[in-house]
Amino acid sequence: MPAIYNPPLRDMRFVMHELLDVTSSLREVPAFADIDADTIDQVLAEAGKFCAEVLLPLNLSGDQEGCHFDAATHAVTVPQGFRDAYAQYCEGGWPSLSSDPAFGGQGLPHLIEIAFSEMKYATNQAWTMYPSLAHGAYTALLAHGTDEQKKLYLPKITSGEWLGTMCLTESHCGTDLGMLRTKAEPRPDGSYRLTGNKIFISAGEHDMADNIVHLVLARLPDAPSGSKGISLFVVPKFLPKIENAGADETVSCGERNPIFCGAIEHKMGIHGNATCQLNLDGAAGWLVGQPNKGLAAMFVMMNGARLGVGVQGLGLTEIAYQNAAAYAKDRIQGRSLTGPKSPGQAADPIIVHPDVRKMLLTARAYAEGGRAFATWVALQSDLLHHPDETVRKDADDMMALMTPVVKAFMTDNGFFAASGCQQVFGGHGYIAEWGVEQMVRDARINMIYEGTNTIQALDLLGRKILSDNGAKMRKFGAMVTAFVEAQRGDDAMKEFVEPLADIGDKVTNLTMELGMKAFQSPDEVGAAAVDYLRVVGHMIYSYFWARMAKLALEKEGGGDPFYRAKLATARFYFAKLLPETAASIRSARAGSKVLMEMEAELF
């Protein structure tokens, strides 16, 4: 039977309005001062309908059909229904949701975009990657493009007429972009001619939109070696054609630019998204930002993509949970260990079994904890527009600190949860028609691209924490401490705040210990980073779960089962998931010697 999806609007409203009270914060930002809870709820309700009614029905068929590549014409055709769905997406004004009104956008807060993205990724990750990459190109050009580039490209991307990509990876270099070889030769007219090859370019070629705006990293002829010699260029598939310059100016697609797809990859998952090898044969491009500063400019897009990939993990966690829970309540198999619960039937529903419940609650706890975390981080991105410099600085620090955690912790959890939910289905989980095996396959890439989760862990521990002696982490720690202190004397909250305080202390001690070891050998950071990120991720989730538990305790007496379920899930999280940190801390402290002492030739 096909997968089901019910947009988690009730939980989104709980997180935004009850937990975070986002409208109070947004009201202090002039651009968002008029946004109220009803507006947010109405937008997300319509967004949920689009995802459940338009995107979900295309998910399985898109996976089975995949993309088609014509070697003779270099053309890529997306699965049936994808183009029509994208046309509906554009007609509904969805590409412009959080874009700047100066370029035709609606100017809504980023946190609405993130919530919509969760639902899109849950229902069709492969399809959603096409417009999401375009939004990334939009943000990079908005931050670093010239006025002319913004005027030329941003209205088209905002309307959805043109899509976009980020072209970084080459066959010999993935994360180590300092090794890239693509060249950019200057031309007398101020443009450049780019020559080289890129691989693993998601949505690199397709027939979804009229044009594709590629953002390409390349080297100028006199560029220094390494990452300090990388520049960023905008390289459109079709050169923009400007007519009626002036007030009535129009922009359309002109001459074909020689950036062609040489092949598409055959992958484990996300079959409906074209992962392309792109060949640049003297393609025309224009410099974005300063020469040799391209990596910094591209990081605007990359950091946004890392947050987006974390939300991919969240979306797949949610839909995997929904389908596994429905199956567990319906599937009749075996008897409860404490005696029949459905004596009138031949067997009990498998939801009576403790381990089935553990797998379901694991997915649910990671979904609801991740939703609270992701929404809070999205709110920080909206507060970057706050008139108060201190608020902006704090928000920027939290964004920097949390980006690698969102990307790595949420995608790890997404894969673990999807795999556990597949297990709930038993043999049926291995069969394509139920859809859950696709969720597992699609979830696996999220741990790899946009910087592997190990890279994210190294970024968190090495760059975001040790480089400033833990200043950013102490800011978040102060929030945790303040919440714990505020609960003193509340006996009902002890089961939540005591483990929260404990993990907070352990993170502080572990950070200091690893900082001392890092002075002895950088390998100590590499050996501990992945475990460290898991511990930090759990500390963050513990904070949000404790806050959610407090609200649930206050409101469960009203009879709404939502709060009863929230409280039960919070208790499960603290009892069954947080204890993972004991093993992670022990592993992090084990050091690098056991990893590095064996000679490479013995592997």
Helix (H/G/I), strand (E/B), else coil: 433: helix
Check: CB of residue 566 under 8 Å from CB of residue 577. no
H-helix or E-strand spanning residue 484: helix 471-486
In angstroms, the CA 375 to CA 503 distance is 22
Check: CB of residue 380 under 8 Å from CB of residue 373. no
In angstroms, the CA 490 to CA 54 distance is 47
* 109: nearest Cα among 171, 175, 168, 30: 30
Token code pair at residue 372: 């609270």
- Beta-carbon count within 10 A of 280 CB: 26
CA dihedral of 219, 220, 225, 228, whole degrees rounded to 10: -80
Token code pair at residue 598: 């064996």
> b/e for 574-597, b at 16 or more Cβ within 10 A?
beebbeebeebbebbeebbeeeee
In angstroms, the CA 143 to CA 166 distance is 15
Residue 69: strand pairing partners: 76
In angstroms, the CA 230 to CA 239 distance is 23
CA angle 137, 142, 148 (to 5 degrees): 105
The alpha-helical segments, DSSP class H, found in 80-214 are 82-91, 110-144, 147-159
Residue 192: strand pairing partners: 186, 285
Catalytic residue list contains 113: no
Helix (H/G/I), strand (E/B), else coil: 507: helix
In angstroms, the CA 462 to CA 523 distance is 11
- Which one from 318, 368, 450, 524 is the annotated catalytic residue? 450
In angstroms, the CA 373 to CA 110 distance is 14
Contacts of 367 (CB under 8 A, 6+ apart): 8, 314, 317, 318, 321, 417
Token code pair at residue 424: 């709930």
* 96: nearest Cα among 63, 138, 150: 138
Instruction: Return the active site residues.
Output: 450
